[in-house]
A and B are shown apart, each in its own frame.
Chain A
Amino acid sequence: MIWAGIPPIFFALLLGVLGAMYNNRWPDYIIRFSSYIIIATPAFVWAVLFLLIFGYWFPILPSIGGRISMGYSVPPVTGLMVLDALIDGQPAAAWDAFLHLLLPSLALALGHTMQEARLTRSYMLENAGKDYITMITSQGVPREVINRQFLLKPSVIPTVSIMGLDIAAIFGNAFLVETIFNWPGISRYAMNAILGKDINAVCGVVLLLGVIFILTNLLVDIVVIMLDPRMRQSRSK
């Protein structure tokens, strides 16, 4: 479940920066148009579509059943299947566990990735019109250096704080996605508890997820303070 939080961090920024660099040219149009459709699709619909496409029509990825294929035995050390397999020195098992992760995480992450890509793009464009960018452009600093060193960081900061909030939606959507992919996680456990009206179990999961959510947001706030010198200053006052 937590793995689903990782792809947005990279791809959202990449796509957002691409969209801003090619503003109003074809890569921007493609990213913007596809993002509208991808955001409009609920996570459980992605899970079902992936199951249909990659599970039945083009069976290239393992889609049904758990975290790893039969036949591999990985001794639990950290509890994370991919890491455990690597620690145990079984690259084939690690790859297999990774393939099992791929579809559920993608189903959970796609919508947020595109949402954050759109945010990054609009912040990039907003900052690109500011005076300090005009000034360094007029000084003859190359375009790539401006994008990398001066434009990216201030545009990423608001996106990072949105990512913390999106973790909440990932938790919620995991309830259905884990059930669809038969993934033995806390959300599938909670889903079974919900359907069985096991209220104590439901309360426990809700409380635990609430705590994890708050801790994640604390972490995000710390990251934002590290990234943003203005926030540091207002702290020290």
Chain B
Amino acid sequence: MEALKRNWLKFSESKISVIGLVIVSAFLLLAIFGKYMVPYPEHIGSYVDFANAGLAPSSKHLCGTDLMGRDIFSRIIGSFRNTLLMGVIVLCISAPVGFIVGVIAGYNKGKLIDTVLMRITDIFLAIPPLVLALAIASVLEPNLTNSMLAITVMWWPWYARLSYGVTSSLRSENYIIYAELVGAKLPHIIFKEILPNCLSAVLTKMTLDMGYVIIMGATLSYAGLGEQAPKPALGSMISSGVKYMPGQWWLTIFPAIAIILIVLGFNLLGDGISNMLGTEEN
């Protein structure tokens, strides 16, 4: 409790990371309960109301309506759940996979398995990530699950590299050598001795990566490889609005602002957390 309070004091030192925390909490709240809070919940799915199509922003429709007559504000909030799901699932799969690969390679540093695992990692790192993700997603059926898969495939090598670096420097520490001497099993060494030392680095990277994963997901969805219509996704809302741009600018501008705000929130929060953990180490 005392440690929590001290961390909070350190975190709230910088006002800008508190702003990030506020944005992220609002986003999480809207992602979970948004469906029950929006003014027009039925507009989130397939719904047609041509009488109100293409209306400019007004007090009735905060962000205007699209060409099917659906309220854009409701659709933006409705897409938050998938945006959040994208970030959480990608990171929750790629971080443990990368961690295990990195730890096994780093623990057996210099042996054959180290070479094999890290060269495989290098192959994934050698191809620009978004290019690979676009290529993978294009081979598979275009939907949300496959775009998550495509991003996960290119995301784990970074965690492998991170935990490889930490592990190979811990490898020669005395407490690891003693644990081996008393006959500790490999899982014990990995999870009880090495994991606690990697944890703060991995967690910091996860919060910092959240924004990038969301950008990546929006980019795939913009290219038409993410969540398919009529379900809302921020990227595909922008891409479908581009064609009607000078006249009906609200089709693109408001989803774009939503992406910028969400990513900004996660980046500010991540910076705050990495500052907090960084100063604690010193």
Residues of A within 8 A of B (CB): 36-37, 39-45, 48-49, 51-52, 55-57, 167-169, 171-173, 175-176, 180, 190-191, 194-195, 197, 199, 202-203, 205-206, 209-210, 213-214
Judge if B57 is at the interface, Cβ distance under 8 Å. no
B126 touching A172, Cβ below 8 Å: no
- Separation of A166 and B245 alpha carbons in the complex (Å): 30
Q: Across the interface, do A172 and B259 meet the contact criterion of CB distance under 8 Å? A: no
Query: Does B264 reach chain A (CB closer than 8 Å)?
Result: yes
**Chain A residue with minimal CB distance to B225?**
A194
In the bound complex, CA of A191 to CA of B134 (Å):
9
Q: Are B245 and A175 in contact (CB under 8 A)?
A: no
Q: For chain B, what secondary structure do more than half of its interface residues adopt (helix, strand, loop), or is it mixed?
A: helix
Inter-chain contact B267/A36, CB cutoff 8 Å: yes
Please provide the 9 A-B residue pairs with the shortest distance between their CB atoms, ordered closest to farther. Answer: A172-B130, A168-B128, A56-B246, A194-B138, A40-B264, A40-B263, A171-B128, A210-B127, A42-B215
Write out the residue numbers on chain A whose beta carbons fall within 8 Å of the beta carbon of B135: 194, 202-203, 205-206
Most buried by B among A37, A168, A173: A168
Of residues 220 through 266 on chain B, the ones whose CB sits less than 8 Å from some CB of chain A are 222-225, 235, 238, 242, 245-246, 249, 252-253, 256, 259-261, 263-264
Interfacial chain A residues near B130, Cβ < 8 Å: 168-169, 171-173, 175
Complex Cα distance A202/B219, Å? 17
Chain B residues in 8 Å Cβ range of A214: 126
B198 at the interface (CB under 8 A from A): no
Shortest beta-carbon distance from A178 to chain B in Å: 12
| Chain A interface helix/strand/loop/mixed | helix
**Residue in contact with A169 in the complex, picked from B129, B224, B235, B252, CB distance below 8 Å:** B129
- What's the A-B contact tally at a CB cutoff of 8 Å? 113
In the complex, given contacts A41-B256, A42-B215, A194-B134, what are 19 additional A-B residue pairs having Cβ atoms less than 8 angstroms apart? Answer: A36-B16, A37-B260, A40-B211, A40-B261, A40-B267, A41-B263, A42-B259, A52-B249, A171-B130, A175-B130, A190-B131, A194-B225, A195-B138, A195-B223, A195-B224, A199-B139, A205-B135, A210-B127, A213-B128
B-side contacts of A167, CB under 8 Å: 128
Distance between Cα atoms of A45 and B259 in the complex (Å) = 9
- The 8 Å CB contact of B223, one of A40, A176, A205, A206, is A176
Using Cβ atoms and an 8 Å threshold, which residues of chain A touch B246? Answer: 52, 55-57
Q: Which of A48, A195, A202, A210 has the most CB of B within 10 A?
A: A48
Q: How far is the CA of A14 from the CA of B135 in the complex (A)?
A: 36
Residues of B within 8 A of A (CB): 16, 126-135, 138-139, 211, 215, 218-219, 222-225, 235, 238, 242, 245-246, 249, 252-253, 256, 259-261, 263-264, 267-268
Neighbouring A residues of B16 by C-beta, 8 Å = 36
B126 contacts across to A, CB distance below 8 A: 210, 213-214
Measured between alpha carbons, how far is A180 from B259 in the docked complex, in Å? 18
Q: Cβ of B219 and Cβ of A44 under 8 Å apart?
A: yes
Q: Are B264 and A45 in contact (CB under 8 A)?
A: no
The answer, among A39, A56, A191, A206, for a CB contact under 8 Å with B127, is A206
Say whether B127 contacts A209, CB under 8 Å.
Answer: yes
Rounded to whole angstroms, the CA-CA distance of A55 and B246 in the bound complex is 9
User: Which residues of the other chain, B, contact A169 by a CB distance below 8 angstroms?
Assistant: 128-130
Q: Complex formed: what's the CA distance from A43 to B212 in Å? A: 12
A175 / chain B contacts, CB cutoff of 8 Å:
130-131, 134, 223
Tell me the bound Cα distance from A171 to B133 in angstroms. Answer: 12
In angstroms, Cα B130 to Cα A93, docked, is 34
- For residue A76, give the distance in angstroms from its CB to the closest CB of chain B: 27
Docked CA distance A114–B30 (Å): 30
User: Which A residues lie within 8 Å of B138 (CB)?
Assistant: 194-195, 197, 199, 202
Contacts A37-B260, A48-B238, A48-B242 known; A172 to B249 CB distance under 8 Å?
A: no
Q: Give the complex CA separation of A195 and B31 in angstroms.
A: 30
A180 touches B242 (CB 8 A): yes
Alpha-carbon gap, A36 to B265, bound state (A): 10
- Report Cα–Cα, A202/B225, bound state, in Å: 15
Output the least CB separation between A138 and chain B (Å): 26
Q: Which residues from B are CB-within-8-Å of A44?
A: 219, 222, 235, 238
* B158 → A minimal CB distance (Å): 11
Query: Could you say which residues of chain B place their CB within 8 Å of the CB of A210?
Result: 126-128, 131
Least CB distance from A144 to B in Å reads 30
Contacts of A45 in B (CB 8 A): 238, 256, 259-260
Distance of A5 Cα from B138 Cα, bound (Å): 27
Which residue of chain B lies nearest to A36 when distances are taken between CB atoms in the complex?
Answer: B264
From B211, which residue of chain A is reached at the shortest CB distance? A40
Please, could you name 16 A-B residue pairs with CB atoms under 8 Å apart, sorted by A?
A36-B264, A40-B260, A41-B256, A41-B259, A42-B218, A44-B222, A57-B246, A172-B133, A173-B219, A176-B223, A190-B131, A195-B224, A199-B138, A199-B139, A203-B135, A209-B127
